[in-house]
Structure 1
């Protein structure tokens, strides 16, 4: 919630304090005031990453991503130069967001976003041929397969897709809404940057729930048990409740952002009318 929105609500609440008969309306509006206070007092800020942040982002990724992301953890893949290089290429595109602690400026989480093109899966397949570690090779091949599976470029007639590729938060800073805020701001960044399609491959149920809350549509699903190696054995065996990858997308991000702004303005207008009615 914006500071302007919060100020308007506090003014309305101030007027209602002199009208005891409208206590019910005050209780309803107090919901918004509490939300505003929570956001204002949050010890974190979401900002766009710069080149000086890359090393720290990789460090947080090593600590928080590899042990928890279902596909990586299932294959027991440790931090490695190949994955680091892949993340750095994504960060270099300039769409990565980080969560910083207001008190010390440290990065406690990030959402690495990138622009994906139709030729990217083929590049990953070729690069995987030079990887000696079999598990890393399997993972990169799966990424290539996953990108091609919905074939959004051809189906939607677009040349570029904005992808929310890596999401991670330090363990001690979890369960505070940071993952949701990072994805929410990433979604807005993609829309504001003019991308026609936003995409997220939710490899965990937690990420999938965030995508649903953000109003994204599920367009494909790949159960982990259905992705097999050359021995016809499942490549991944992650713990419950992670049963597969769900691909979500937003095919009209600019329109949806505009609709959200219009709804916010309507809410402000309704609050102003309520203020005029009871004063």
Structure 2
């Protein structure tokens, strides 16, 4: 057997010297679409935006919104994470109760075709913002013992005062989108854009003059640009300092700036007249 193996190796070497191909044939097959991933690795392949519906929240959705905020919003919100704020602090609990029970709440549900159940994948919460809100926040911050909570209150008051939108547009209140969050598994798949467009349409129907979004993250800023909103003000997180001139925010990359986007509805233009049915 050893002699036969050595003779076969010798014969291959002799044939290769004369230019004869001695390689074993390889079985070839046609390329399949399964060889190339059609979906990016960060996106969920089975997600379909056509299965998403937007509903208005009511009293029954309070506990679901509260759970969703604690699982998806606060652990990723740059103005909270960048301050190293504890998620169990009373300030976060008060804000969660406010967002769960008041304001215009729009919830995005995904219907799973295989099981027929519906899953909450996004929440948008908007409230009316008045000019005296900045003074109220600064007064609360003055009596707050926790430094991260005090810094965030001063930060929110600064975002209200610096653009000076009440004087610029000559309005009495702003329709402020305070929460815009989607589940991590459906990020960058159009759910946030669908929620924001629903809120803008709702403000237009109610004849609200101005819609505002404080984009504390780059993802929110991208959603606002997709919805055709205008950037009115921008600030770097490094520019916000305390009384001693020390930097306050240390957010994660790529969230280095905060910007304010607005959508203005001119009251002189008026609403769109609906189409009348044709007379028979």
TM-score range relative to shorter protein? 0.7 to 0.9
Give 1:245's aligned residue: 258
Contiguous gaps of at least 5 residues in structure 1:
1-37, 266-279
What displacement does 1:187 show? 1.4
Structure 2: gaps spanning 5 or more residues: 1-45, 276-280
1:156 to 162, 166, 169: 169
Kept in 1: contact 2:49–2:189 (CA 8 A): no
Q: Which residue of 2 aligns with 1:221?
A: 234
- CA change 1:150–1:231 in 2 (3 A) is same
Q: Is the 8 A contact 1:192 1:254 kept in 2?
A: no
Give the TM-score taking structure 1 as reference length: 0.72
Q: Secondary structure of 1:65's partner?
A: helix
103, 115, 130: which one pairs with 1:94?
103
**1:189 corresponds to:** 202
Instruction: Tell me, yes or no, if the aligned pair for 2:66 and 2:100 is still in contact at 8 Å.
Output: no
**Which of 1 and 2 has greater Rg?**
2
Summarize the Cα distance change of 1:58–1:92 in structure 2 as closer, same or farther, 3 Å threshold.
Answer: closer
- TM-score, structure 2 as length reference: 0.72
How far is 1:62 from its partner? 0.8
Total equivalences in the alignment: 225
- Cα distance per residue 1:138-173 (max 9 Å; x no partner): 111111111111111122111110011111122223
- In structure 2, what is the Cα distance between the partners aligned to 1:72 and 1:254? 36
1:107 paired to 2:120: yes
Map of 1:43 onto structure 2: 51
Question: Aligned partners of 2:269, 2:260: CA distance in 1, in Å?
Answer: 19
Cα deviation, residue 216, structure 1 = 0.8
Higher helix fraction: Structure 1 or Structure 2?
1
Distance 1:131 1:169 in 2: 31
Contact 2:212 2:261 in 1 (8 A): yes
> How far is 1:254 from its partner?
7.4
Query: Does the C-alpha gap of structure 1 residues 253 and 168 become closer, same or farther in structure 2, counting only changes over 3 Å?
Result: farther
